[in-house]
Amino acid sequence: MDRFAVLSDIHSNLEALTVVLADIQKRGIETIYCLGDVVGYGPNPKECLDLIIDKTQWCVLGNHDYATLYEPTNFNYPAEQASFWTREVLETEEEKRRSDRRWSFLGSLPMRQSLRIKLGANSAIIDFVHASPRRPVNEYIFPDDVYTNPAKVRLLFERVKHICFVGHTHMPGVFLDEPDFYLPDELGNVYPIIDDEKAIINIGSVGQPRDKDNRASYVYVNENQVHFVRLAYDFETTMEKIMAIEQLDNFHAERLRDGR
């Protein structure tokens, strides 16, 4: 197995997830890992959970998955409302088998996963978390941190053995331990994993990109190369669904159009 895809932050966006899964299938990639936040903000929590359960090898716990299962922590009001709505939708599933499957999936998500693998001629130790290697569920690592808080980024790198895949900020790019940050564009959308360079790789968000590009984001790894992919999807349909649900704030719809 030297090819796999990694997705994160689906946020109940079925239109985006469908397009991403089709692209992965088209490339013939059979192994998919997920960095969490399957639910929250968006209109299709059941459908997205079912697809992630069926199509991925495993998934780690995101703060919105935690919020749905236990309680929202540090959420603003609209995010909190979306989380309570998501719980209500999952709790009102009539078919017990489906309901049990979704809740037991959410209830058994680990905070991290690790792989030790050969990537072409290189070998890698890869950690997978939702947010950061220090606080796997809740800590934000922003691109600006490399300038405004380099000490924080250096401390985070002390916790990274080699490569760490993260999501959470919905902003894709690569952090190196200088510290430095590179947008996917600046790398020609490819980061080569090499034996003696540590990297924290943010894979962006499938269902709610926030880097001013409204296309769904994910990565796939082929040999030692991490490829950043962006895909246009029918965000207008997702927006309409959100606006038709009273408990979901219209801002969750508008940000899909604007990529923010």
Which residues of this protein are in contact with Fe ion, per CB under 5 A?
A: 9, 37
Task: Indicate the residue among 193 and 235 with the shorter CB distance to Fe ion.
Answer: 235
Q: Give which of 38, 42, 43 is closest to 102, Cα–Cα.
A: 38
Instruction: Write down the least CB distance from residue 88 to Fe ion, Å.
Output: 20
Instruction: Write down the least CB distance from residue 184 to Fe ion, Å.
Output: 18
Instruction: Write down the least CB distance from residue 260 to Fe ion, Å.
Output: 13
Task: Indicate the residue among 37 and 211 with the shorter CB distance to Fe ion.
Answer: 37
Task: Indicate the residue among 167 and 179 with the shorter CB distance to Fe ion.
Answer: 167
Cβ 251 vs Cβ 41: under 8 Å = no
Instruction: Write down the least CB distance from residue 110 to Fe ion, Å.
Output: 17
Beta strands in the chain (DSSP E): 3-7, 32-34, 58-59, 112-119, 122-129, 163-166, 173-176, 180-182, 190-192, 199-202, 216-222, 225-231
Nearest-CB residue to Fe ion?
37
- C-alpha span between 73 and 208 (Å, rounded): 20
**What secondary structure does DSSP assign to 231-257, as a single string?**
E---HHHHHHHHHT-TTS-HHHHHHHH
Task: Indicate the residue among 39 and 226 with the shorter CB distance to Fe ion.
Answer: 39
